[in-house]
Structure 1
Amino acid sequence: MTPAAELLRLVHDGTYDEAHQDVRAALLDEIFDPREGLSLPEAGRLAYERCRHLHGKLARPLDILRDPRRLFALAEWPSLLDVSTFSLLMVHYNLCLGTVFDHGLDRPDLQDMIAELDGLSSFGPYMATELGYGNNVAALRTEAVYDRETETFVLNTPDAAAQKYMSYSGFRDIPKIAVVMARLRADGEEQGVFPFLVRISDHNGLCEGIRAVPCPEKPVQGLDNGLTWFDHVRIPRKNLLLGDMATFDEDGTFRATGGNRRKRFLRAMSRILPGRLCVSSAAVGAGKASVYIALRYAANRLTNAPGRDDVPILAYRSHQLALFTALAKVYAMTFLLNHAKREFLAGENPELNDLISITKALSTWEMTDVVAVCRERCGAQGIFSVNRIADYGSLLQGLVTAEGDSQVLLATTAGQMLARRDDAPEPAVPWPHDRDIADPVRHVELLRYREHTLRAAARTAMAAETGYFAGWNNAINPALAMARVRGVRIALEQLLKTGSEILRPLAALYGLTEIQRDAGLYLARGAMTAEQVERLPAVIDAQCAQILPHVNTLIDGFGLTPELLRAPIAADDYLAAFQQTVGT
C-alpha cells in the first residue's frame, strides 16, 4: 500500500470504499459545475435540484440513517461544492427524517408521509429554533393543544418571539413536511416539548393557517430560510411523534413513559448528537479542501527569491509555517472526529456527550482559522468563489452556531465536567529537564497538566463567590479553556495512535503550536525551562522542514482531486485553468 493510500485509509477510518466513495463520485456530475451570475434565489433552487440528484444516485435516506457513517460522509462531501446543498441534506436527512426514524418509523399510520420524505417528493424542514429564544428549545413557546372532540392538535404561534426561525419555508411552491417542535398541552396541562409532523406546503403554496416570510439574504447561501408562523393550524393526532417517550390514549389522556421531563425532552431532541458530528464532518471537510487547494497553489505559484530565480511561494518558511500549521490542525481534527464517531457508534462512553460537544466546538473553531489562513495565503485568488475557499468561510460561519452555538455549547459541557467528581490524583509538574521539547508525547503530558490546572482554577473561582450564577460567571473563562484543552489533548493522542511516521512531524507541529500558546504558564510552573521557551520558534520551524518533502503525499491522503473541486488554482496548470474560467 502506498503512503497516500495508507493515509486515505486512516483519514476515513477504514470506511472510504463503503461509506464515502459513491458520495464523492456523485459530485463529479456536471450539475455541480460552478455557475456564475446566479441570483441568491436561483442558487437556492439549484441546491434543491442538486439534492434530488444525490438522492437519485445514493441509497434511500432511511437506509443512510441506518448506517450513521454514511450520514457523516453525506455531511462531509457535498459542502465542498455547494454549501447550500449540504445544509438542505442535513436538515432533511438527519433532523427531519431522522426524528421520524427515531420516534415513528414503524407506525403504519405515518407511512404515507414517511414515503414522501424518503422519496424526496417532499423536503423536510426542522422547526425548533424560535426568534426570541434562539437554540434554547426547552423554552420555546409554540403550542400544540389537543382538542378531544376533533381528535386533532391545534398548532399555534402565540406571539412574535415564538415564530420559528431560520427553517426552510421561503420557497412556497416546493412541497414540504416539517418536524415542528412544540409544547404539548392536553386537558389543560402542559406536558413538555415534543415533535410533530406538519405539512407546510405543496405545489400550490403554503398550507392553510401557515404564514412564512424569508429571512434577509446571507452571503453565498441562497436558501429559503424564513420566519414561520402557525395560526391555529389543525393537525391529526397521529402526527405527534411520541416514540417511547409517552403514550396518548384514545380518550386523549397523556401518559409519560420515558423518565422525567428533562429525559423526555433530550430524547425528543435525539438527532442533536449525530447532528453535531455531521457539522464537524462538514467543518473538517472544508478544512481539508482549503489546505489542499492552498498548498497546491503554493507549490505552483512562483515568486521572487533574493539571490535566486523565481521559486514557488511554498519555498518560504513563513508560508510553510502558516499552511503546515493549518495542515496539522486538519489532521488533528480529523482524528478527533474519527474518535468521536467511533464512540458514538459504540454507545458505551458515559462521557459521550462531552466528547461530541467538545469535538463540535473545537473543530468548527479550528477549521474557521484554517479557512481564513488558507484564503489569505492565496492572495486575491482566495477571494473568488470559483476557488472555493471563500465559500468555505461562509460555511464555517454557519457551522460555528449550528446545532448549538459553539461557545455556549462548550460552556455547558465545561460546567458538566466541573460538576463531576474527580478522584484522579493531582498530577505532578512535568519534569522539563533532559526532555525533547519536539516530542509530541511530551506535549500530551503538558496538555494533560494544563487541563488539570485549569480545572483547579475554575473550581477555585467558583468557590470564591456566593450564589451559583456569580460563581459560574467567575469560573466560566478558565472552564472554557479547560474544555478546549481537553479536546486538543485528545486530538493529539488520537493523531499519535495512528502510529504513522509521516504524520509524526505534523503531530509535533500541532502540539508545539498549542504549547506555545501557554508557554508563560508552563515556564512559571516549572514545566518548561527558559531555554526551551526561547527555542520554541526554531523547533517549530524545524518541523516545517521535515514536513515539506511529504506535502503532496499528505494532501493526497484526503481523497481530493482538482477534477472534483473544480478550483482553478488547484489545477496542475493554474494559469491555464484560470484563463479558461474567465474565458481568455
Structure 2
Amino acid sequence: MTATLTDTAPDSTTEQLTGVLLGPDLRREHGFWRRLISTEPFRRPSGGTPEERLELAYERLRILNRSLDSGARLASDPRALAALHAWLGPVDPALTTVAGIHYNLFLGSLLDHDRAGLRDLSDYLSMRRIGTFLCTEVAHGNNAAAMETTATYDRERDGFVLHTPNAGAQKFMPNTSPAGGAKTGLVAARLVADGADHGVRLFLVPLTDEVRALAGVRVRRLPARMGSPVDHCLTSFDRLFVPRDALLESGDETGGQGKPSAGPGKSPTGPGKSPTGPGKSPTGPGEFRTGPGDRRRRFLTSIGRVTPGRIAMSACAAGSARAALAVAVRYGGHRMISGSRGMPPVAVNAYRTHHGPLASAMATVFAMTLLSRRVQERWDACTDEAGRTEAERLVDVAKAWITWRAREVIVESRERCGAQALLENNGMTELVTGVEGAITAEGDNIALYAKAAADMLLAPEPGRHCRPEPGSRPGDLADPAVLGELLAAVQDIWFARAGERALRASPADTMGQWNAASGAGLRGVEAYAYHQAFQAFTEARATLPEGAAGDRLGELQRLFAVEWVARNGGDLLASGLLTAEQVDALPGAAEELISAVAAHAPELADAFALPEELLADWPIAGPGYADAYDDPTAAWNDPREDAR
C-alpha cells in the first residue's frame, strides 16, 4: 500500500510518516507534481537513442508548461521549484535539468531583476523560446567572479558588445543548442564602460533559432556527459551587439528571492503578471554607478538564483534516493533465494547481510528528506541579513551533505538489486549518474564545505561539548537528548582541532594556515550537517502523536545517530563523553535498531508516496519482474509444448 495525498487528517502510520516527510500541506506542494508524473506523457519509454531521449525531455518540458496556470508563479516559488525537482528527478533527470534551468535560473532571475513587471516575458512563459543560463566558463567555475567574458558599453549605439576573449572564457555546459527549440540565455559578463570595470552583470541574449546559432554566437556540443542526455555546450560570442535593455537592472540591487504563498497551479499576482514592455533602465545612457563593494554585491545579485537552485538540488537528490531505496526494498521482498540447509526458498530481505544496509539507508533517507525540509523552512523564514547568512550556510552544507548521502544510498540500493539494476529499463542507472550531476551542479560540494568551514572557524564555540562537566557521567545512549549532545560534541571536537592546527602554522602563511586546518574543518562541517539532520528528526517527532508513527520515526532517528556516534566513538571516548563500555556497546545497539527498522521497511518505503504508475515502469519494483524478460516465441509459450 502506497500512501496517498489527501485533504483529510492522516490516520494510518504510513500516512502520518508521509506527512512528516513531505510537510503538512501535501496537496499544494506535492500533489500537482505527483499527479503529473503519473500521466501517460511521463511514463517511462522503452529504449531510445540519447538524441531521442533529449527530444522527449524538451517535449515533456512543454507539456509541463502547458499544465501550469503560470510559469511565473512557479519561478517565483522556491517551494514549488523544490517539489518539481523532488518528483521529476526520479522520472527524467534530463527534463529535471532543463526545467530547473528554465524556471529557476532563467525565468526566476528575470523576475528578480524586474520587480515592476515591465519586461515582456510572453515568449518564455509560452516557451516559444526556452531559457538557459550562462555563467560558468571553461577556466572559471567556483571562482566565477573572475570570469572574462566582457560586455563593453557602446555609447554611440547605446548598447553592449559581448565578446569572448580566449578559450578559457567560453561558457561551459549551458544547454544552448537548438535542440528543443529556439533558446535565449542570461549571460553573465563583465560590464566595461569607458575603460572602467563595473563588475559582473546579467544580459538577456537570444542565442539560437530552431535550427542554428544566431550571428555572433558560436555553439558547440560538448562530449556526451555520463547520465542524462542534456545538450551541454560550449558557447562563445564574437563582438555580438545587444541593445541597452538587454542589461538586467533593478531598483532593488540587493536582489532576493520571491516567496509567494500559492503553489504552481495558481495564477500569478506578482512579478510576471501582464508583462507590458521591455525593461526600463534606472540610469540614463552611459551611466553605470558602482560604489565601494558594489561589484561583489551585484555579482551575488546576478547569481542569486543559485541558492534556490541548491535547495532544489537537495530535494532532487533526496527524491531520487527515496525512489532507489523503495525499489530495492520491494525487490528484496520478492526476489527469492534458496534457504539454508534445504529449507524452502526465502526472500533475500530475510538475510541480515541484505536488509542491514537497506535499514541504515532508510534512516539516512529520512534524515536527508527531513533536513531538506528544515533547510527550506529556515530559508523562507529569513527576515534580516544575519539570518539570511546563517540560513544560506545551512543551504550550502545541506546541498553537499544530502547529495553525497544520496549517492551512497543509490549505489547501495543498486547493488542490493544485483545485475537487474544495471539495466536501463529498471531505472537505477539514471539515478546513479544523475546524482553525480547534482553533486557538481550549483557549486561543487567540496567548495561549499570549504566555504562553510572557513566561515564557521571565524566564529566557532569550540570545546562547548568537548569535555564533560566536573562530576558528570556519560548519559544513557537510549535517550535522544543525549545522542543529540554527542552529535553536537563531534562537531565541536573537529572545529577545535581545526583551530588548533591553524595556530600551529605561521601567521604570515595564510595558505599554510588553511591547509593545516581544512581537513579537520571539513570534518566539522560534516558533523554540523549530521547534527542539523538529527535536529530535523527531533522537530518532526514533535509533530506526531504517541503511537506507531512516532515509534518508527524514533527508531530511525536513533539508528541514524548511533551509527554516527559509533563512527566517532574514539574521539568521544577520549573527550570523556563516552565510557569504554558504551563504545563497546554501540555495535550491539546499532544491530538492535537495524532489526527494528528492517521489520517495517516496506511500510517505511510506502511512506515515500511514490505513484504506482512510476513503480510499474521499473520491472524490478514488482513481483512479476521476470515477465519483462519473457520471450513470446519461446517453446515454453507454445501451447503445443504441453501436448508433447
**Mapped contact 1:212–1:226 kept (Cα < 8 A):** yes
| Matched residue type, 1:445 | E
2:191 to 160, 173, 184: 184
Q: For 2:378 and 2:569, how far apart are their aligned partners in 1?
A: 32
Aligned-pair CA distance for 1:324: 0.7
Instruction: For residue 11 of structure 1, report the CA deviation from its aligned partner.
Output: 0.9
Which residue is 1:328 aligned to? 363
CA distance in 1, matches of 2:632, 2:405: 31
Whole-Å Cα distance in 1 between the matches of residues 628 and 586 of structure 2?
Answer: 40
AA aligned opposite 1:151: D
1:229 aligns with 2:236: yes
Residue number among 474, 479, 502 corresponding to 2:552 in the alignment: 502
Counterpart mapping for 1:1-400 below 5 A: 1-108=11-118, 110-111=119-120, 114-171=121-178, 174-243=181-250, 244-245=252-253, 249-256=283-290, 260-307=294-341, 308-348=343-383, 349=387, 350-400=389-439
Q: How does 1:411-430 map to 2 (within 5 A)?
A: 411-420=450-459, 422=461, 425=464, 428-429=467-468
Alignment pair present for 1:484 and 2:491: no
Deviation at 1:259, TM superposition (A): 5.5
Deviation for aligned residue 1:446:
0.9
Aligned counterpart, 2:260: none
Query: Is the alpha carbon distance of 1:580 and 1:72 closer, same or farther for their aligned partners in structure 2, counting shifts above 3 Å?
Result: farther
Match among 512, 529, 553 for residue 470 of structure 1 = 512
Structure 2: distance between partners of 1:537 and 1:245: 54
1:425 Cα deviation after fit: 4.8
How far 1:352 sits from its partner (Å)?
Answer: 0.8
| Farther-moved stretch of structure 1 (519-528 vs 208-217) | 519-528
The normalised TM-score by structure 2 is 0.86
Is contact 1:562-1:571 (8 Å) kept? no
Amino acid at match of 1:268: S
Deviation at 1:218, TM superposition (A): 1.8
Q: Hey, what's the Cα distance between the residues in 1 that align with 2:583 and 2:219?
A: 58
- Match of 1:177, SS state, is strand
Deviation at 1:364, TM superposition (A): 0.5
Aligned residues of 2:36 and 2:42 also touching (Cα < 8 A): no
User: Using the alignment, how far apart are the partners of 1:411 and 1:392 within structure 2?
Assistant: 26
| Inter-partner Cα distance in structure 2 for 1:581 and 1:568 | 17
- Alignment correspondent of 2:266: none
Deviation larger for 487-496 or 557-566: 557-566
Q: In structure 2, how many angstroms separate the alpha carbons of the residues matched to 1:372 and 1:510?
A: 18
Match of 2:481 in 1: 441
- Distance in 1 (CA, whole Å) between partners of 2:633 and 2:159 is 58
What is aligned with 2:497? 457
State the Cα deviation string for residues 66-124 of structure 1 (Å, max 9, x = none): 3221111111111111110000000111001111010025353x21xx11111111111
- For the structure 1 residues 4 and 495, does the alpha-carbon distance in structure 2 shift closer, same or farther, using more than 3 Å as the test? same
1:402 aligned partner: 441
CA RMSD of aligned residues (A): 2.2
- Distance in structure 1 (CA, Å) of the matches to 2:21 and 2:372: 10
Distance, in Å, in 2 between the alignment partners of 1:54 and 1:95 is 17
Cα distance in structure 2, aligned partners of 1:303 and 1:358: 42
* CA distance in 2 between partners of 1:509 and 1:495 (Å): 12
DSSP-derived class of the 2:174 partner: strand
Partner Cα distance (2:58, 2:99) in 1: 9
Is the 1:280–1:364 Cα contact (8 Å) retained in structure 2?
yes
Aligned residues: 581
CA distance change for structure 1 residues 582 and 220 in 2, over 3 Å: closer, same or farther? farther
1 CA distance for matches of 2:319 and 2:180?
A: 32
Partners of 2:460 and 2:416 in 1: CA distance: 46
Report the counterpart of residue 543 of structure 1 in structure 2. 593
Query: Is the deviation greater in 4-13 or in 426-435?
Result: 426-435
SS at match of 1:212: strand
Q: Tell me the CA shift for residue 555 of structure 1.
A: 1.1
What is the CA distance between 1:579 and its match in structure 2? 4.0
Distance 1:548 1:227 in 2: 48
What secondary structure, in the 3-state scheme, does the structure 2 residue paired with 1:144 have?
strand
Give yes or no for contact 1:173–1:206 (8 Å, CA) kept in 2.
no
Normalised by the length of structure 1, the TM-score is 0.95
Please tell me whether residue 574 in structure 1 is matched to residue 625 in structure 2.
Answer: yes
1:220-276 CA-to-partner distances (Å, cap 9, x unmatched) read: 321110000100011111010121229663231112479632222212211011010
Aligned to 1:294, what secondary structure does the other structure show? helix
1:513 corresponds to: 563
Indicate the larger mover: 145-154 or 213-222.
213-222
Gaps of 5+ in 1: none
- 1:164 and 1:229 in contact (8 A); partners too: yes
Q: For the residues of structure 2 that align with 1:46 and 1:371, how far apart are their CA atoms? A: 25
Q: Which region of structure 1 is more displaced relative to structure 2, 243-252 or 551-560? A: 243-252
SS in 1 for 2:551: coil
Cα distance between partner residues in 2 of 1:582 and 1:576? 14
CA distance in 1 between partners of 2:294 and 2:235 (Å): 30
Partners of 2:131 and 2:92 in 1: how far apart? 19
State the Cα distance separating 1:570 from its structure 2 match.
1.0
Structure 1 range deviating more: 165-174 or 139-148: 165-174
Identity within the alignment, %:
32
